[in-house]
Amino acid sequence: MGEVTIIGVDLAKNAFQVHGAAADGSVLFRKKLSRPQFIRFMAEQPPRCVAMEACASAHHLGATDDAAGS
């Protein structure tokens, strides 16, 4: 099993789809995480590239978190 070099995130309001990929693009894991699980999961990851979708709901989520002082 290769080392995860990028984490892909599909943002949603309540559940997040996350997958880790190796440098060659092979998928090493796929997870469906609740918002609290996602925050814990990302806090435990070493520094690496994270790719997130940028749909309207994703921008709303970011704006809501910024307003809350996150």
What CATH number is associated with residue 55? 3.30.420
pLDDT tens-digit profile, the chain (70 residues):
579 999 999 887 778 999 999 999 899 999 999 989 999 999 999 999 999 876 666 566 555 555 444 4
Angstrom distance (rounded) from CA 57 to CA 62: 9
Q: What is the pLDDT of residue 58?
A: 58
Q: What is the pLDDT of residue 60?
A: 61
* 14 part of a folded domain: yes
Look at residue 7 and give its three-state secondary structure.
Answer: strand
Q: Give the other-Cβ count within 10 Å of 20's Cβ.
A: 19
Q: What is the pLDDT of residue 64?
A: 55
* 26 part of a folded domain: yes
* 1 part of a folded domain: no
Q: What is the pLDDT of residue 13?
A: 72
Domain extent, residue 49, equals: 6-67
pTM over 0.75: no
Angstrom distance (rounded) from CA 20 to CA 4: 6
Nearest to 16 by CA among 46, 42, 48: 42
